[in-house]
Amino acid sequence: MDQTKLRLPTPLPSWTSSKSDFSILFHWSIHLFLYTVRCLTMLGHFGFECLPHQLVNRSIQQGFSFNILCVGETGIGKSTLIDTLFNTNLKDKKSSHFYSNVGLKIQTYELQESNVQLKLTVVKTVGYGDQINKEASYQPVVDYVDAQFEAYLQEELKIKRSFIDYHDSRIHVCLYFISPTGHSLKSLDLLTMKNIDSKVNIVPLIAKADTISKNDLQKFKCKIMSELVSNGIQIYQFPTHDETTAQMSQSLNFYCGQLPFAVVGSMDEVKVGKRMVRGRQYPWGVLQGKCDESEQVCSGKCVCVNKLGFFCSFQEIYEAKRQKFYDQCQREEEELKQKFMQRVKEKETTFKESEKELQEKFEHLKRVQQEETMKLEEERRQLEEEIIDFYKMKAVSETLQTQVCTNIKKEKERKK
């Protein structure tokens, strides 16, 4: 039978609660089971320990998709930061300040680092904050976010869903670029954030943070946070319970205390020592990505800013996770080996002790048996001597008896 061409029994009964359908389903399951049993060929090692590998392999095959919404005024540094984050040059044209309405620019890029593929969708506001009447500036953003939810819902409602090919365009994170005024949030910022905070994960960023002094920056951050709180605006909450994220960033509480993040982007590569790094060259020196000591931006998928203020790549995160997994495997393997060796040693000691005990028992029995043999030998010798004495005495008595008889006979004959 050609196993590779086996076809499953059809048709598969649609599920109903009636008894007859149940029995059909039952028979079908048995049929399927038999087919499955016959088809089974072991392709390799299996077990649920393989699940992490399968997940990693599937993720690598399928790639990742990440949708970022960048909301901020024209020229605030949205494109530069995205390029910095993903270490690319997405070559985006500069927008004009003279649009009558706010619009959105949606671009999808296929990025690759090593063998990890990323489908990156960047949605940027165009003309944001450039109109005299800014009241409705947030509306296109809200409409876009809602439209993506609606599209996903429509796909979900379809009888025949095809999520494998479906490009899920729902926004994972909204990077909200705050002008580095050092003063406070603008009413437009508050209005927009208030209208989208229930729909997307907002990560507030102070753009072009190299333009503010350290003290002013700290005060500005406090001011922004207090304004967000007093206006009831929900920003993204870091998953402090996530052990992996917590380990990678060492202390999420520290990062949460740094909100909003101060970021610096750059398209230029400058020489620092012997290395070429992304940075901004000033007459007084090179800024290799200022920002607070280290920062992190997280959403459903995680992106983080390293000590120098630039974002680590997905590849690094993936590699770190993979390394952690392998380290854990190695540690567990080592522990198992140690346990095994320990048990072998214990068993060996037990065996040796039993062997010693048995040997002693054997020696003891041997000694007892030897003594017993010697005793028996002595008894036998004594018995043999007794037998010899007995035979001697018997012979003497027989001789005496014969002599007595002879003497009696002679006496009788003499009397006659």
CA distances from 194 to 118, 225, 227, 416 (A): 30, 14, 12, 167
Specify the residue, 77 or 204, whose C-beta has the smaller distance to ligand GTP: 77
**Rounded Cα gap, residues 52 and 48, in angstroms:** 8
Q: Measured from the CB of residue 335, what is the shortest distance to ligand GTP in angstroms?
A: 48
Q: Measured from the CB of residue 202, what is the shortest distance to ligand GTP in angstroms?
A: 17
Find out whether 249 and 295 touch, Cβ atoms under 8 Å.
Answer: no
Q: Which stretches within 250-313 are classed as H helix?
A: 252-256
Q: Measured from the CB of residue 183, what is the shortest distance to ligand GTP in angstroms?
A: 18
**Rounded Cα gap, residues 237 and 341, in angstroms:** 47
Specify the residue, 309 or 312, whose C-beta has the smaller distance to ligand GTP: 309
Q: Measured from the CB of residue 160, what is the shortest distance to ligand GTP in angstroms?
A: 39
Specify the residue, 238 or 310, whose C-beta has the smaller distance to ligand GTP: 310
Specify the residue, 233 or 279, whose C-beta has the smaller distance to ligand GTP: 279
Cα-Cα-Cα-Cα dihedral sign, residues 326, 330, 332, 336: positive
Element containing residue 204 per DSSP (H, E): strand 202-206
**Rounded Cα gap, residues 222 and 193, in angstroms:** 17
Q: State which residue has the least CB distance to ligand GTP.
A: 77
CA dihedral (81, 82, 87, 88) in degrees, to 10, reads -120
Specify the residue, 77 or 260, whose C-beta has the smaller distance to ligand GTP: 77
**Rounded Cα gap, residues 243 and 237, in angstroms:** 15
> Residues in the site for ligand GTP, rule: CB under 6 A?
72, 74-80, 92, 94-95, 124, 208, 210-211, 264-265
Specify the residue, 92 or 168, whose C-beta has the smaller distance to ligand GTP: 92
| SS3 call for 213 | coil
Specify the residue, 78 or 172, whose C-beta has the smaller distance to ligand GTP: 78
The letter for the amino acid at 231 is N
Q: Measured from the CB of residue 169, what is the shortest distance to ligand GTP in angstroms?
A: 20
Specify the residue, 262 or 317, whose C-beta has the smaller distance to ligand GTP: 262
**Rounded Cα gap, residues 412 and 41, in angstroms:** 118
Find out whether 71 and 179 touch, Cβ atoms under 8 Å.
Answer: no
Q: Measured from the CB of residue 76, what is the shortest distance to ligand GTP in angstroms?
A: 4
Specify the residue, 137 or 245, whose C-beta has the smaller distance to ligand GTP: 137
Find out whether 86 and 313 touch, Cβ atoms under 8 Å.
Answer: yes
Q: Measured from the CB of residue 95, what is the shortest distance to ligand GTP in angstroms?
A: 4
Q: Measured from the CB of residue 180, what is the shortest distance to ligand GTP in angstroms?
A: 8
| SS3 call for 287 | strand
Start-to-end CA distance of the chain, whole Å, equals: 126
Specify the residue, 15 or 282, whose C-beta has the smaller distance to ligand GTP: 282
Cβ neighbours around 175 below 10 Å, total: 26
Q: Measured from the CB of residue 102, what is the shortest distance to ligand GTP in angstroms?
A: 11
**Rounded Cα gap, residues 151 and 128, in angstroms:** 25
Q: What is the DSSP string of 40-61?
A: ----S--SGGGHHHHHHHHHHH
Residue whose entry in the numeric block shows the structure tokens 């020196």: 285
- Strand 285-287 and strand 280-282: pairing? antiparallel
Specify the residue, 74 or 201, whose C-beta has the smaller distance to ligand GTP: 74
Q: Measured from the CB of residue 187, what is the shortest distance to ligand GTP in angstroms?
A: 20
Q: Measured from the CB of residue 111, what is the shortest distance to ligand GTP in angstroms?
A: 18
Find out whether 244 and 251 touch, Cβ atoms under 8 Å.
Answer: no
